[in-house]
Structure 1
Amino acid sequence: MQEHELAQRVELLERRVQILNRLAEMSTAINSTLQLEPLLQLIMQAAAEITDSDSASVLLWNRHTNKLFFAATTSSGTMANSLIGQPVPLKGSIAGTALTENRIEVVNDVTADSRHYSGIDEKNDFETRSILAVPMRLKDRPIGVLEAVNKHELPWTEDDNHYLSILAAQAAVAIESAELVTALKKANTELSEIDKLKNDFIAIASHELRTPLGVIMGYASFLQESDDKEVVGHAQKVLDSALALRQLIEDLTNLRYLQQKQIDLHREPVTVSKLVQECLRNTREFAETRGHQLEIVLAASDVELVVDVGRIQMALNNILNNAMRFTPDGGHIVVQTEINNDNEVWIKVIDNGIGLEPEQSERIFEQFYQVENHLTRVHGGLGIGLSIAKGMIEAHGGRIWVTSNGLNTGTTFTIALPIEEEILREQSS
């Protein structure tokens, strides 16, 4: 073998090693970048470098218009600005053929190929002489086309095809990931904006409803002093509805505060027995109207908790009201307390009501979730009482969960509240 030929082969091998190393570097760089624009720049720079070309471009497929468009180019200045976003038809173009036929298009002389889309050159004062176009696909789904333009030493080689195909395959996965991340960020931003609008609406609605509601309640209370029993009866219905609406406003306000983590807790010591008995007093009237039997089963030893009494009572009231609403008239509801592992108080609300299916147990604490179909439900409510209860309990460092053996087997809600270590020491001494 002649020395000159040997030197050429060594040079070719060195070139291949350099390109393979470059592809390995690109694989790492591409997969560590989730921002689309920097990612496209990396891909194009590598494409031009490994094919020894003047420039490279990435064209992405728009499924809505069914066209390719220039997403990025190594060209700079005004040409790059004017090129980005320009469409290229799938039919009758080199890039379009590469994508639709899923094959590499090698064009050493564009003047001899009628598919060359010369309109791009004319618009950007550029001369395209040769093109190597490689489709980017993810499984069977089109992503776009990676183009190298104007190779310095023609013709395009099998190595060019091979290396650009490797880069295009890596690029397809990376572009898909970057687009998914971008879409996810956009969706999260939109959700945040919707959530803010919802909170603003709740705040405004709550504020605007309070004044007229106060007037309605005032007039209803005044009418209750009438000597006409029929008027008194109607006034009571108005007052009951107004009180229900006021509670709804309070629930929405509490929900907003919980979402924004703006709940202030005013903690004070209270015994578990007192907490439970007070809650039952608050709900006994409702229980009597439904014919429910309420039962308390207290732990053998009573302990103190340091909690915001009003907030915990609200949580317990919501759970008790839920149990009474979803238990047929004449039901049996038990409130049971116990000490667990000497560091938690468990308060259980056990009913013999309609029960829950397994998938409902997972969702019942979600905001606005309804166990019943919205068209056929008979129990009313917005579906936020349990969500508020969960938020109040967790704000105290506690837990809440529900268990049920299925429909018509009743449910058991369990609240677990931590016992402060100092109180434990005092009560054990």
Structure 2
Amino acid sequence: MLQTLRSKILFYFVIISMIGILFVSFFIQWGFEASFKSYLDRNRDKKIERIIVEIEKDYKQSGHFTSGQIFGILHEQAMTDQLYFQLYDRFGQIQMDSSKIRGMMNSLGLTELAPNGDEWHSQSYTLKVDNEKVGKLTAIYPEGLIDDEYTFLQTIQLYIFASVCLTIILAIVFSLLFSKKLTSGLKKLSFAANELQQHNLNIRIPLKGLPTEVKHLAISFNNLAESLAKEEMLRKQFTGDLAHELRTPLATLRSQFEAFQDGIWEPTPQRLQTSHEELMRLVRLVNELEKLLAAENPQIRLEKIELEAGSVLAALWEMFLPAFNQKGVRLHIEEPLGEEMFLADKDRLMQILSNILNNALKYTSEGKNVTISISTEKEGYVGFVIADEGSGMAEDDIPHIFERFYRGDKSRDRKTGGVGIGLSIVKALMDAHKGMIKVKSKVNKGTSIILWFPRED
């Protein structure tokens, strides 16, 4: 029955509302009825007390209980409040009895008692004048409510019942509206999830009008959809770039081999060397792809050890100085002031720094500088800063440089021989080290890359 979230919310909301309303109405009615009866009892006691005072005052003045004024008061109470009295003198002889009026009023149908109000209660009071007993007054009255009292209480109960019914109706109506509004966001989310499952990566959930919790869920979903759309775009771009990278050397090799087969070309050493270069280009591409797959493998195992930044800089100096001298680019090493220790896999670290330095060397012209230094600005990390005076990059290209085969300048691979995977490998290995990369670059000014490695695992 209660299969949907909306039906469950509606059911439990209505049940809780009804229980709360019934409890409140019960306590209101019970408390009001008890307070009302207490009020009537106190009012009756005050009337009896006032009559006693009048009787004692009249007796003190006249010396007997036959005053017409007293009889008029007793008669009035009998007619209006069904409060009857029997007045006795000190010898026990009855002097006045207004209870006889009850029988006459009953026969004429002028009295009305509440249900279960047919029991009568009597209470006697001693009459005293100057501290001397002069008689006794017995008050007789019904246990239940009478006439207007009962009608008044019934009216209040009717209002309470009407309020309960109206509140229940409002609770149901607002429960319907509330459950519909709450589940509408979840329905949108469900619809969007189904669309995403059908590969509609452009689907987004409108955030307007959603509750805060559902809005946060919708934001997460939109971010997921955007991320999937970006990944799909990168996948297609990677496939296209890979096909392009493979097509050029393969087409060249095919044309050359067909020329050899058709006798158009003689297999001279120079032509064989050209074919060999295209073949090696394919080999380099496959090797770079293998390195990238290895670096992006989530099961990659790093043999982290404690390293000292200064010794790493010294090793880089020995490794790259000949290549820099050969091209005529000046390599500067800025030694740290003290020992800076951090954790890293030494082989992977050198692979990361070598890729960055190779890029710096490729895009820096003869006579210019490349500088390597250590930064400790970020607490808990040691940073390797590699700054060159090369061609630089446009600001729009910086967020994409770690994507596979991405190049801001589409012709740079032809000039340098790269395949556009080196920085993707750097990003994957830095993620494996739980490190961070920061890039700054300006066109024709140079590029600065900071590689942050954590001091502790």
Q: TM-score range by the shorter chain?
A: 0.3 to 0.5
More helix by share: 2
For normalisation by structure 2, the TM-score amounts to 0.44
Q: Which has the larger radius of gyration?
A: 2
For normalisation by structure 1, the TM-score amounts to 0.46
